[in-house]
Every structure is written in structure tokens, then in C-alpha cells.
Amino acid sequence: MGIHNFLKIKLFLFNNIGIKQTFFKNAFWLAIAEGVSRLLKLILIIYIARILGATEYGKFNFAFAFVALFVIFSDFGLSQITTREFAQDKKREKEFSAILSLKIILSLGALFLILISSFFITSDPIIQKVIWILAVVALVGTFFEIIYAFFRARQKMEYEALAKILQALILTTIGFFVILNYPSVENLSYGYLSAGLVALIFILIFFNFKIFPLKFSWQKVIWRRFLMMSWPVGLALIFTTLYGYIDSVMMGYLGQITETGWYNAAYKIVGLTFIPATIIYLSFYPALSIAFKKTKERLQELWNYQMEIMILLAIPLVVGGITLAPRIIDFIYDPSFAPSILALQILIVMAGIVFLCNPFSQVLIISNQQEKSCQIAFSGAIVNIILNLILIPRFSLYGAAFAIVAAWLLMFFLFFKTVSKFTSIKPFSLRFFLIFIIALFSSLLMYFVISQPKIYNLNIFFLLSIGVGIYFPSFLISKKLVSQFSKIFL
């Protein structure tokens, strides 16, 4: 009996049997990967911030943000298009060698841009050197993404999960060794570089012998075809990266290094909240790509399911995040990071909007409307840059936080309008409205409970557990009552 159960579990977690089983299998592995890797990285980041302090931590994040503005050129949307194309037609996998070769050329171009631009953004030789090191780190990271794209196309997220966990373990081990024994921004950068290279070597060896033989193929016809498909996604990612990192770069350029440290301390926590959104996005992407080739009804059904999950998660995230921000910052950092509290409360609103935007952005790419997604991202980037130029000099990190919220809010409305007009998806229904109301009611009930002084002052983990324990049962009960009411009166 024990062996039989073991084989059933193994079959469920390592084989693609049916649509629902494959989705839950992929979601399980992505949850493990994102949860473990991001948690390990967050723990490392917390110690880095505590040991280096807000100013030195700000230097590291300024350099990292600057690199991120350029490193997107090394992918230019290839990963997402590779997943889509390989998922829809497995015969395309033979073109992977050409895509990998193109990836190398794009990476070298991105590295050149970073090296040249670094001389214009800062005159500090230490920060310049950190930028150069982190540039290589980030480019190494983009090679993981193209490998993951192959795994996602085959809906083999268990391989991606194991790779991400390995990568996080190596980074955390080396990172802690460096920050505890040789604490400096420069040494930390070398630690990141060493960890990235070691992890990449392991993954490439596994991929070459277990999944697909690695080789180079200089086929310009394939390069041209994939770039023609990926450039709108690439531009959209560039614009998304702009409003994700331009704030830190602007603050650093204006000499607000300590404020950059406070801002990124809050942003790292918000990044942890993206785990469920990332899992859902990646789990649905291959299935939606396949559904697009079949029927509109199946595509709508899957999209509705994804959107309902996003609403279910976004509302309590915003309400709970704003309520618990002081406790979270106090628990994670030392008192010198108190200015991060308000930044976290503003940025958590942005996180909720991102949750709701993801299904819209995804279906545009799947429906071959990458250009529209690119235009929306461009609009968001322009608004964010303009608002940053106005608000950062006056309000520093809080101005940056308000700017990115405004940009994402604009994009949500543009996504809604564009999906309604250019795809077969119907983005609004009475069901979505009811789920939103139920989620809001349940979130307010959660707020009423956790904001009580005797509960609010409990250990943060107990407090989070109480919030979850209030919200989800309340949501499920309310949803069932509304469903019963609808059957009787509608």
C-alpha cells in the first residue's frame, strides 16, 4: 500500500497526465521554487541591509537597479515567445540552439551598453566597479530564463523548481559567507557573481545531458523570425523594467543613497508578495497558449479562473499589507529603517494592481497582440518617469512609490480596454464583481480582527496566521451564501 501510494504521488508530481493534473503539478512545483528561493534570498537581503546599513545597502541597490535597466536587452522577450512557440508546436524545439546563440549575442551587446553607461551615471569608482560585476551577474541570470522557457513549454516546472532552489541555496550560502566575514558592497557583488556562475554550470550540465543537447547554431532566418515576434514583448519588458528600477536610479543619481536603501527595503518585501502571482502566471501560460489554438470558450474559461484567483488574493494583500506594514518593517529591519513603513504601505497598493494586470497582459501575448501590450507598457513608463521627475526631488522615496502606483493604475485601465477590444476575452462579468465584493468584505472583516490592539501586538507570524484564518473561511462562506442566494432569486 505504501509503495502504491508513493508511485501515485510520483506519477502526479512528475508526469503530465491531464489538463487539471498538469496545472496543479506545475503550480505545486512553482510554489515550492518561488517560495523557497525568494524566502532564502529575502533572509539574505535582510542580513545584508542590517550589516551594511541603509547607505551601503542603498549603493548596492542603486548599482543593481542601473544594471537592470539595460540587462533586459539580453532577452528582449525571447523567453516568453520561446515558451509560447514551443508549447504550441513541439517541433520548434529544434530551433533552440539558434535561440541560445542569439541570446549570447544580445547579452554581449547589453554588457557593452552597461559598461559604457556606467561612466555617465556616477563618478564613484566603487559603485562603478559594483555595476560592472553585477552586470555579469544579471546576464548570467538571463541564461537561466531561456532554460526555464524550455521547461515551461514542456510543462516540466519540476525541473525549473529544482534549478531555482539550487540557485538560491548556492547564492545564500556564498552570500552569508561573504557578508559575515568580508562585509562590503564590492565583496558582496563578487559573492553574487560566484554563486551565479556555479549554479549556471550545474544547470547547463543537467540540461545538456538530460533535456536537450547544447550547441550553437548561427541561423539568421530563425533569429529574424523570433525577433520579429519578440520585439514588442521586449519593448514592453523594457518599459516595465523602467518603472520598476528607474526610481532607484533617479534617487541614487540625485544623491539620495540612504533613501534608496529605505525604498528598496520596502520593495524587497513587496517582491515576496509576488510569489503567488508569479506561480499563477507561469502555471496558466502554457495552458492558455494551447487553449488559444483550440476554442474561444476554453480560453475564456481558463482566463476567468485565473482572474478570479487574482482578485481573491489581491484585495486581502492590499488591506492586510497596509495594516501590518509597521509590524513587518519593525520585525525584519532595525529602527533606522522606520521610513520604509510608509513606502511599504504605498507599494503594497501597487502589488495589488499588478496582480490584477497579469491576466490581461498574458492574454494579449497569447493572442498575438504583443504590440498592444508594448504600447500600454510604454504609456506606464512615460507616466512613471514624468511623475518621478516631479515627485522624487520633493518627496523622495514616497514620491517614487506614488509614481509607480499611478503608472500601474493607468496600465490596468488600458489593459482592460485593450483586451476588451482586441481579444475574444470578455473581461467583465457579474461573477467578477461579486467575487470582488466578497473579497473586500472578507478583507475588511480580517482588518477589524487583526487591528485590535491585543491581537495586533502578537508575534508577526501569529498575526499573519490569524489574518489568513479569518479571510479565507470568510470568503468561502460568503461565496457559498451568495451562490445559494443567486440560485433562489436570480
pLDDT of residue 185: 86
What residue segments make up the domains of the chain, in order of their start? 18-428
Q: Residues 175, 188: contact at Cβ < 8 Å?
A: yes
pLDDT of residue 298: 82
With vertex at residue 209, the alpha carbon angle to CA 203 and CA 210, rounded to the nearest 5 degrees, is: 80
Q: How far apart are CA 128 and CA 414, in angstroms?
A: 38
pLDDT of residue 489: 44
Query: Alpha helices, DSSP H only, in 72-88?
Result: 78-88
pLDDT of residue 153: 80
Q: Residues 384, 403: contact at Cβ < 8 Å?
A: yes
Residues 6+ apart with CB under 8 A from 473: none
**Considering Cα of 46, then 310, then 339, then 267, what sign does the dihedral take?**
positive
Reading phi first (left if > 0) and then psi (alpha if -120 to 50, else beta), residue 122 is in beta
Gyration radius from the chain CA atoms: 23
Q: How far apart are CA 220 and CA 12, in angstroms?
A: 41
Q: How far apart are CA 441 and CA 341, in angstroms?
A: 25
376: its cell numbers: 500600454
Q: Residues 456, 450: contact at Cβ < 8 Å?
A: yes
First to last CA, the chain: 48
List, for residues 23-38, the tens digit of each pLDDT value. 666 677 777 777 788 7
Cα–chain-centroid distance for residue 87? 21
Report the run of H or E that residue 264 belongs to, with start and end.
helix 257-294
3-state secondary structure 163-204: HHHHHHHHHHHHHHHHHHHCCCHHHHHHHHHHHHHHHHHHHH
pLDDT of residue 14: 58
For the beta carbon of residue 293, count every other beta carbon within 10 angstroms. 12
Residues 6+ apart with CB under 8 A from 50: 333, 334
pLDDT of residue 1: 45
pLDDT of residue 490: 43
State how far the alpha carbon of 457 is from the alpha carbons of 46, 215, 325, 413, 463, in Å. Answer: 22, 58, 13, 38, 8
pLDDT per residue of the chain (490 residues) written in tens, 0 to 9:
456 554 555 555 555 555 566 666 667 777 777 778 878 888 888 888 888 888 888 888 888 888 887 877 887 778 878 887 787 777 787 888 888 888 888 888 888 888 888 888 877 888 888 888 888 888 888 788 888 888 878 777 778 888 888 888 999 999 999 988 988 888 999 998 899 899 889 888 888 888 888 888 888 888 888 878 877 777 777 777 777 778 888 888 888 888 888 998 898 889 888 878 877 877 777 778 777 877 788 888 888 888 999 999 999 999 999 999 999 998 888 888 899 999 999 999 999 999 999 889 888 888 878 778 878 888 888 898 899 999 999 999 999 999 999 999 999 999 999 998 888 888 887 888 888 999 999 999 999 999 999 899 988 889 999 999 999 999 988 888 877 665 554 4
What is the tally of helices (H) and strands (E) in the chain?
15, 0
List, for residues 162-181, the tens digit of each pLDDT value. 888 888 899 999 999 998 89
Q: How far apart are CA 144 and CA 147, in angstroms?
A: 5
Q: How far apart are CA 157 and CA 153, in angstroms?
A: 9
Q: How far apart are CA 291 and CA 296, in angstroms?
A: 8
What is the residue whose three cell numbers read 496545472? 23
Query: Alpha helices, DSSP H only, in 295-429?
Result: 296-332, 340-366, 370-422
